[in-house]
Structure 1
Amino acid sequence: MKRTWILPTLFALCGSLVATGMVLSGSPGEAAALLLMFLLLAGMHSSLVFPRSVGAREARRRSAVDGRPIVYWRPGCKYCLRLRIRLGRRARQLHWVNIWQDPDGAAAVRAANDGNETVPTVVVAGRPHTNPGPSWVREQLSSAT
């Protein structure tokens, strides 16, 4: 199993186990609510919430053509999730690279952050910016299009 899916799978599995115990103890309503909460957490920490990732090489090529920023991210990162949610529909205009799926992307992030895999790292016009604010990323996206 890819490590991208480990955390979401654990959320779903733990939620299922706890909900099963609650159903057996006579609390089916609470069990359903708790299971729903765990499944939402699993979904939020999965790759499903993010736009489709591309490889770092492809993202650099696309960014050179259209001038849009590249976002290096990884599942389970609360700052990446915050950025994704705050960007809303505009997030689909960025080039997203999952560093857990792309070794070149992970290397690019380490090169930009003194050997650390600190995400989100947003690259605009070849310059990396570590954990920028969503409003700043929106401005960069507006100036690129």
Structure 2
Amino acid sequence: MMRAWILPMVFVLCGSAVAMRPALTGDAGTAAALLLVFLALALVHSPLVFPRSIGAREAERRAAVDGRPVVYWRPGCMYCIRLRFRLGRSGRQLHWVNIWRDPAAAAAVRDANDGNETVPTVVVADRPHTNPAPEWVRAQLTSSE
């Protein structure tokens, strides 16, 4: 769990350090703006942006029942963040699995990607798709309803 928070913590610490100089010279507005930018980056790269992750086995079981795709992701992955934001509210319907929290999920992603942990990997009907277009994923959601 701690591994998922390393990058957001680095953003907060770096933002604090960068904002310190303008704050010490009396430029509170610049310091506040810099700190807000780094806090926003920390939030975007945190696990808070994604729906609650479940285990790989549970995601596979749920997908077999409801036909919705399973998305394997990891915090800090820009492609995962892009997918999550471009899906909007419909992204909450997917089964999200954090590969840093579940070794079985990481193994499933390596099996699908020639030994690499390339994410996002979206599994639809037991077929993995690496870094698919968000529009395609949204279309898979509508076809599973």
TM-score by structure 2 length? 0.98
Provide the secondary structure at the position in 2 that maps to 1:26.
Answer: coil
Q: Paired residue for 1:136?
A: 136
Residues 1-145 of structure 1 correspond to what in structure 2 (within 5 A)?
2-145=2-145
How big is the shift at 1:21? 2.1
Secondary structure of 1:81's aligned partner: helix
Partners of 2:2 and 2:106 in 1: how far apart? 15
Q: Cα RMSD between the aligned structures?
A: 0.8
Q: What is the letter of the counterpart of residue 60 of structure 1?
A: E
Question: How much has 1:54 moved relative to structure 2?
Answer: 0.3
Query: Within 1, Cα distance between the matches of 2:28 and 2:83?
Result: 36
Structure 2, unpaired ranges of 5+: none
Runs of at least 4 residues off by over 6 Å: none
Unaligned runs of 5+ in 1: none
Letter in 2 for 1:127: R
SS in 1 for 2:128: strand
Deviation track 1:68-117 (CA, whole Å, cap 9, x = no partner) reads: 00000001100000000000000000000000011010000000000000
3-state DSSP of counterpart to 1:128:
strand
Aligned-residue sequence identity (percent) comes to: 73
The letter of the residue matching 1:103 is: P
Alignment length, in residue pairs?
145
Cα shift at 1:142: 0.5
Amino acid at match of 2:118: T
